[in-house]
Amino acid sequence: MTPETGSPQSGIRPSEGLRHVKYEIRGKLARRAQDLERQGYEIVPLNIGNPGAFGFRTPETMRLAMIENMAVAEGYCHQKGIFPAREAVVMQQQMRGVTGVSAEEVFIGNGVSELIDLALRALLNDGDEVLIPSPDYPLWSAAVSLNGGKAVYYPCRPENDFVPDPEEIERLVTRKTRAIVVINPNNPTGAVYPRAVCEALARLAERKDLIVFSDEIYDQMTYEGIESIPMATLVKDTLCCTMSGLSKIYRACGYRVGWAVFSGNLRGAGDYLSALELLTSLRLCSNVPAQWAVQTALGGYQSIKELLTPGGRLFESRRAILEATSSSQYLALAPPQGSMYAFVRVKTDLLPDFDDQAFALDLLEQKHVLLAPGTSFNVPYRDHFRTTLLPEAALLKKVFTRIEELLTAYASNASPARVVHAEARFK
């Protein structure tokens, strides 16, 4: 065959739409980690917030709810999800002070990830802009790009403990701006925005007629009495979409159940919501058996609280990271107030040639720890990395000892690994 007829030599070209799409959390480093595991090495996987990988279990009542309803979960359900699940989400919103929401404004999806893609696909035309925090959870950037939009990043600066400045965000709004994404509690930084900041973001969205996409998948995961403010309680005069699910608070990532709740000014949103329902219809429905766990999860005992107080596993793991970074010669950390991550800074005054990608590869190759480099989260600086808080405190102490050893070795050598060296080792 000739190249024109599709010979193997010509190659199959991927879509041009993927040119600006990246998801490095499961990228080259993760594939290299798999190679090392096949060789017999034991890798500590701190790149993904996957509770099941560290022994966390979904509450038993949720498992039983699925089993007991399995006989009615074998067929397709309504494209928005089963009514008991959607009604449970409505009740949760009402308990938080959100009014004017019914089951009709709730969409159940195969995780929040699917709903992010569908919600943006129903909204965006080519060239439309979406305001996204930097650092961000990179799926938001990818979904904007895949659906023809342009991600415009508003900085959440390390020197401000990763809390955004609403006045700075307002200067980024153009006639093409359609929406603003708020990730609170934040992934990757663990920042939880003060009420005044959330209120300012709500007023900004209302003035500029922007849809608010509020990613609150870590809504109940905060530490030391910090309050997480639901954006839907503040947004009144524009459309607000709150996204959450079972994955993190209920340690049920594999169930793939998330929801999007629309509130605020629903007038004029009918065509958009109909477009979103069309897209959900095209994929028929989301995972039905796991939807039967939603009512039990939201209405039952909230076991997450046990994990977040002194003696609780997430609290103690967070404490271990705070202590390790505080005692480190090379590390600094804005204490995470929420979520299950820490976004750690390396002091470049001591290590001026530090590069997060090269460091992450060296840590994997030499110390068998897999982290996510800070640049994976669409930031312009290369001196951060993200770790999850999910391992037990004792393991995290060992991990940070290994990190300190590697950074000490960097300091002892005049030329720590550069990113070009790291990329060469992938080939």
User: Per-residue pLDDT tens for 316-345?
Assistant: 999 999 999 999 999 999 999 999 999 999
pLDDT of 9 reads 60
What is the sign of the dihedral through the CA atoms of 85, 86, 92 and 95?
A: negative
Q: How far apart are CA 169 and CA 154, in angstroms?
A: 6
Beta bridge partners of 34: none
Are the C-beta atoms of 155 and 164 separated by less than 8 Å? yes
Which helix (H) or strand (E) is 426 found in, with range? helix 419-426
Beta bridge partners of 154: 133
Beta bridge partners of 106: 261
Determine the 3-state secondary structure of 181 from DSSP.
strand
- Compute the chain's Rg from CA coordinates: 22
pLDDT of 152-195, one tens digit each?
999 999 999 999 999 999 999 999 999 999 999 999 999 999 99
Domains along the chain?
A: 14-56+306-426 (3.90.1150.10), 60-299 (3.40.640.10)
By C-alpha distance, which of 247, 237, 238 is closest to 215? 247
Whether the pLDDT of residue 410 is over 90: the answer is yes
Whether the pLDDT of residue 7 is over 50: the answer is yes
Q: How far apart are CA 92 and CA 226, in angstroms?
A: 20
Q: What does DSSP say about strands 372-373 and 384-388: parallel, antiparallel, or unpaired?
A: antiparallel
Give the type of residue at 321.
I
